[in-house]
Amino acid sequence: MLKSERPIGIFDSGLGGLTVLKAVRALMPAERLVYFGDTARVPYGAKSKSAVVSFSREIADFLFAKKIKFLIVACNTASSLALEEIREISPVPVLGVITPGVGAALELAPRGGKILVTGTAATVASRAYTRALQAARRDVRVTEKACPLFVPLVEEGWCSKPLAGLVAREYLAAFRGRKIDALILGCTHYPLLKKLIARVMGPRVKIVDSALATARAARLELSRRGLLNPGRSRGECEFYVSDAPERFSSLARKLLGLKTGEVGVKRF
């Protein structure tokens, strides 16, 4: 098998990374994809750095064994806390979700603009987005807001329930009148709440979907390295989780319209 025909590996703490998978699928339909959702240990946002690093290394090793050609860490918490540790052990290029999201936000924000980053408690505490944004443009003003209940709402499939609206307003209503130019969805679960978040923030605020930005960055990097799959047929997808495969498959279909087929289970 040619290296370009090998699959792309994608992992997340749960089903949020499926937003990245779906975006990758739309941009690069010929690519074979292997996805792992750590459903037994979701959410990562409340875990320690050492735990997130340990979990991420275990999952990366599992995906390396699948002979992948490229790894997407489709989890903002893991990208914030474990990306360098993953790269140290990786035999293939590794892409996180923070740099693509930062680039997309800076394209939208004017000089001296204000950017609001929403994320898990661990991502916000790491200040990874603030450092990356201000390293690229020192004039940008950044506020980070932890929204820890968003992940369990998505994992429960409650994106359209009234409770999701109440939680979103509690977290974000105070920012509505503060002239925010761009809001980064700093967790790959959050695009599933994108319409709700947009309603709370109002039409002026531009929403940065880190899943779409990551898919675009992945295509660019694969092209640069000569790793794009040259095939014309639609690539296959494999799905693995660490627990509750039936529930994962049901929510993937309900929330994203993805048909996973049989989902494998890998416990650590």
Helix (H, G, I), strand (E, B) or coil at 249: helix
Per-residue pLDDT tens digits for 128-174 = 999 999 999 999 999 999 999 999 999 999 999 999 999 999 999 99
- Kindly indicate the confidence band of residue 177, based on its pLDDT and cuts at 50, 70 and 90: confident
What was the pLDDT predicted at 119?
Answer: 96
- At residue 238, φ and ψ (nearest 5 deg) are -115, 140
The structure tokens listed for 215 are 């898919």
Matching fold, domains 3-96+212-265 and 98-210: yes
In whole numbers, what is the pLDDT of the chain averaged over residues?
A: 96
* Residue boundaries of the structural domains of the chain: 3-96+212-265, 98-210
Strand-pairing partners, residue 182, are 115, 206
Q: Which residue in 147, 159, 187, 237 is the catalytic one?
A: 187
Contacts of 138 (CB under 8 A, 6+ apart): none
Per-residue pLDDT tens digits for 50-107 = 999 999 999 999 999 999 999 999 999 999 999 999 999 999 999 999 999 999 999 9
What was the pLDDT predicted at 178?
Answer: 86
The burial class, CB within 10 Å (0-12 / 13-18 / 19+), for 194 is middle
CATH code of domain 3-96+212-265: 3.40.50.1860
The model carries a pTM of: 0.95
Q: Answer yes or no: is pLDDT of 42 > 90.
A: yes
Distance CA 44, CA 117 (A): 18
Q: Answer yes or no: is pLDDT of 2 > 90.
A: no
- Kindly indicate the confidence band of residue 32, based on its pLDDT and cuts at 50, 70 and 90: very high
Please confirm, yes or no, whether 147 is among the known catalytic residues: no
What was the pLDDT predicted at 1?
Answer: 79
Please confirm, yes or no, whether 187 is among the known catalytic residues: yes
Q: Which residue in 75, 147, 159, 237 is the catalytic one?
A: 75
Considering the segment(s) 98-210 as one domain, its CATH architecture is: 3-Layer(aba) Sandwich (3.40)
What was the pLDDT predicted at 147?
Answer: 97
What percent of the residues of the chain are helix, what percent strand, and what percent coil, each to the nearest 5? 45, 15, 35
